[in-house]
Amino acid sequence: MKSILTDTQVKLSLKRLAHQILENHLNLENTVIIGMQPRGIFVSDRIVNEIKALIQPERVQYGKLDTTFYRDDVRSEIHIANETEINFSIQDKSVILVDDVLWTGRTVRAALDALLTFGRPAKVELCVLIDRRFNRELPIQADYIGRTIDTYFSQKVKVEWAGHNDVKTDGVHLEG
């Protein structure tokens, strides 16, 4: 297993992503942040906390989106849907989707379909902690990237979060 990001590097990347989002969406005016279930919410929770430390917390509209029933591929590990928590309209707003790893693009495609349930956004941007730039199956790219890595299709990117699954520190590792 090869280390891609250490605990310190993960924290710095999340802080940088929060700052980049605010640079492009000053005070989050007409902007919402939506974390993608299940693993993207670990990233989005941290980014939202960073943003709330920089601007008035009540200006942050934050939701969580499950894409299970919008996927066009069959994934054996998906058996139970996660909760979607979007208590606001996204009609004519800028939406920032947040996920942990961008690989094939299929999860993001499903999220775009699922978003239409909550209105038609003016713009959708993508924020990811890790961009696996090779092996993309759909023409999807991230607007905000923590780290871009080159991987083989057979390799797995494992993102670990302190306090989850008995993990003591944040980190990103490459297996295989």
Which pair of tokens denotes residue 173?
């590792």
CATH number where 104 lies: 3.40.50.2020
Report the sign of the C-alpha dihedral through residues 161, 165, 168, 174, in that order.
negative
User: Is residue 34 within 8 Å of residue 99, measured between CB atoms?
Assistant: no
Per-residue pLDDT for 19 more than 80? Answer: yes
The boundaries of the domain holding residue 55 are 8-151
Q: Looking at the domain assignment, is residue 1 inside a domain?
A: no
Per-residue pLDDT for 104 more than 60? Answer: yes
How many angstroms separate the first and last alpha carbons of the chain? 7
pLDDT confidence bin for 26, thresholds 50/70/90: very high
Q: Looking at the domain assignment, is residue 176 inside a domain?
A: no
Alpha-carbon separation of residue 25 from 17, 96, 104, 164 (angstroms): 12, 10, 27, 31
Q: Looking at the domain assignment, is residue 32 inside a domain?
A: yes
Per-residue pLDDT for 79 more than 70? Answer: no
Per-residue pLDDT for 78 more than 90? Answer: no
Q: Could you report the per-residue pLDDT of 107-117, keeping only the tens digit for each? A: 999 999 999 99
Q: Which residue, 114, 108, 104, is CA-closest to 151?
A: 104
Alpha-carbon separation of residue 117 from 24, 61, 91, 93, 149 (angstroms): 26, 17, 10, 14, 33
Alpha-carbon separation of residue 137 from 24, 66, 81, 132, 143 (angstroms): 28, 21, 24, 12, 18
Question: What pLDDT, on the 0 to 100 scale, is given for residue 170?
Answer: 96
CA–CA gap between residue 176 and residue 156 (Å, rounded) = 7
Number of domain units in the chain? 1
Enumerate residues 6+ apart whose C-beta is below 8 A from 158: 1, 172, 173, 174, 175
Q: Looking at the domain assignment, is residue 75 inside a domain?
A: yes
Whether the predicted model's global pTM rises above the 0.85 cut: yes
Q: Could you report the per-residue pLDDT of 121-166, keeping only the tens digit for each? A: 999 999 999 999 988 999 999 999 999 999 999 999 999 999 988 9
Per-residue pLDDT for 77 more than 80? Answer: no
pLDDT confidence bin for 83, thresholds 50/70/90: confident
Q: Looking at the domain assignment, is residue 31 inside a domain?
A: yes
Q: Looking at the domain assignment, is residue 3 inside a domain?
A: no
